[in-house]
Amino acid sequence: MSIVEHHIDLAAPRISEAGVADYIALLKPRVMSLVIFTALVGLVMAPGHVHPVLAFTSILCIAVGAGASGALNMWYEGDIDAKMSRTANRPIPRGRVTEPEALAFGMTLAFFSVMTLGILVNWYAGGLLAFTIFFYVVIYTMLLKRWTAQNIVIGGAAGALPPVVAWVAATGSLSVEPILLFLIIFFWTPPHFWALALFRNDDYARAGVPMLPVVAGPDATRLQILLYTIVLVAIAVAPWPLGYFDAVYGAASLILGAGMLVLAINVYRRREGAEASRATRKLFAFSIFYLFALFATLLLEVVVRAVAPWIW
Amino acid sequence: MDDKQEPKSVKEGIVLTEAQKKSRRERSIAIALALGVLVVLFFAVTMVKGPGVLVRPM
């Protein structure tokens, strides 16, 4: 059963009325903003000087690549999106953009983002961006999402790669720091999306997506959220004692990590009624702030060191 | 087929509505802007890299 129904007269040629706003919606702008931010952090943390034009080009290509992934994801998931209240307003289920149009749009953006990054910056970064798009669209969207409850755990790798792509764009090589950034986002993804899945359980069940709460039940999901949050907090703090990030980051990761842990414990303990729903929504909202604040601390550190090195 | 019986869309071709024309114009402008940005980007990077523009890893 679909939440939205649209009927197209097959006898008449279909002429698109899709506007620019519909195509922008295909890019998943909110996801893209997080990608831009994490990639920016990866870029500014990279050692050495990157010319601002090349830095801008790198971030633009990564952003467009993320947008391409979003469009290709919506192309493939039109049937699922129509069944979920959260996604029923997307351009394809609403009938504003057809699936072939979304496919063409996504493929064009993917091609240009990868080729531009490769030609103008370096081919390591271009190749890694191509792999990221491939991983998100083929591995996550086409293979994992409808097949296993571990979909967002493995698929989370695609969302964790943008800072690595940016680092490689800036340096032409890989190092421990971008891998740490990758691990933080990778382990952040399960508690974030499972919190969402807990209060959108009916949506996912209706669409037949085997999210953990649908397959294993809410209680097993609450335990998994808590376990992944413990691992996340440990991994996020670790770069400080290991000497990769400094004490200000260490303090921020401890305070923010404590917040995540308290909220995850709350989700684990409160299992019934409005309190349970409130706890999962709080964790979901705070997890976004957590990642943003953690990366903002790293960004701030680099900026302050460059502008006023005596402060930091 | 008798000319009188021919459907309007076949006789006159496809006639776009105002909404379709407006959205097509919007999309055309967006594509033009995107191409413009791409041209400017390639020009700017060429200027930044100078003769080294052809020297890239791999």
What's the gap in Å between the CA of A39 and the closest CA on chain B?
19
Suggest the residue from A15, A23, A53, A97 to mutate for an interface test with chain B (most B CBs closer than 10 A).
A15
Among B22, B45, B57, whose Cβ lies nearest the Cβ of A124?
Answer: B57
DSSP sequence for B1-58: --GGGS-HHHHH-PPPPHHHHHHHHHHHHHHHHHHHHHHHHHHHHHHHHGGGGG----
Lowest mean pLDDT among A9-18, A123-132, A298-307, B22-31: A9-18
- Cβ–Cβ below 8 Å for B56 and A23: no
In chain B, % of residues over pLDDT 70: 71
**Model pLDDT, residue B2:** 47
In whole angstroms, what is the distance from residue A56 CA to residue A53 CA? 5
What's the gap in Å between the CA of A33 and the closest CA on chain B?
19
Q: Band of the pLDDT at B1, cuts 50, 70, 90?
A: very low
The answer, yes or no, to whether residue B53 has pLDDT greater than 80, is no
What's the gap in Å between the CA of B57 and the closest CA on chain A?
6
pLDDT in tens, A12-71: 667 888 999 999 999 999 999 999 999 999 999 999 889 999 999 999 999 999 999 999
In whole angstroms, what is the distance from residue A178 CA to residue A189 CA? 17
In whole angstroms, what is the distance from residue A178 CA to residue A167 CA? 7
From chain A, pick out residues whose CB is under 8 angstroms from the CB of B58: 122-124
pLDDT in tens, A213-229: 999 999 999 999 999 99
Q: Band of the pLDDT at A310, cuts 50, 70, 90?
A: confident
Lowest mean pLDDT among A11-20, A181-190, A263-272: A11-20
Rounded to the nearest integer, the mean pLDDT of chain A is 93
In whole angstroms, what is the distance from residue A5 CA to residue A82 CA? 8
In whole angstroms, what is the distance from residue A65 CA to residue A67 CA? 5
Q: Among residues A177, A178, A176, which one has the least CA distance to residue A166? A: A178
In whole angstroms, what is the distance from residue B23 CA to residue B5 CA? 32
A174 touches chain B (CB under 8 A): no
Average pLDDT score over residue span A165-177: 96
- Cβ–Cβ below 8 Å for A51 and B48: yes
In whole angstroms, what is the distance from residue A46 CA to residue A49 CA? 8
In whole angstroms, what is the distance from residue A167 CA to residue A176 CA? 11
From chain B, pick out residues whose CB is under 8 angstroms from the CB of A54: 45, 48
Average pLDDT score over residue span B35-46: 96
In whole angstroms, what is the distance from residue A197 CA to residue A112 CA? 34
What's the gap in Å between the CA of B45 and the closest CA on chain A?
7
Among B9, B16, B30, whose Cβ lies nearest the Cβ of A20?
Answer: B30
pLDDT in tens, A227-255: 999 999 999 999 999 999 889 999 999 99
Q: What is the ipTM of this complex?
A: 0.83
**Model pLDDT, residue A65:** 98
The answer, yes or no, to whether residue B14 has pLDDT greater than 90, is no
Among A23, A116, A123, whose Cβ lies nearest the Cβ of B56?
Answer: A123
**Model pLDDT, residue B51:** 76
- Cβ–Cβ below 8 Å for B14 and A15: yes
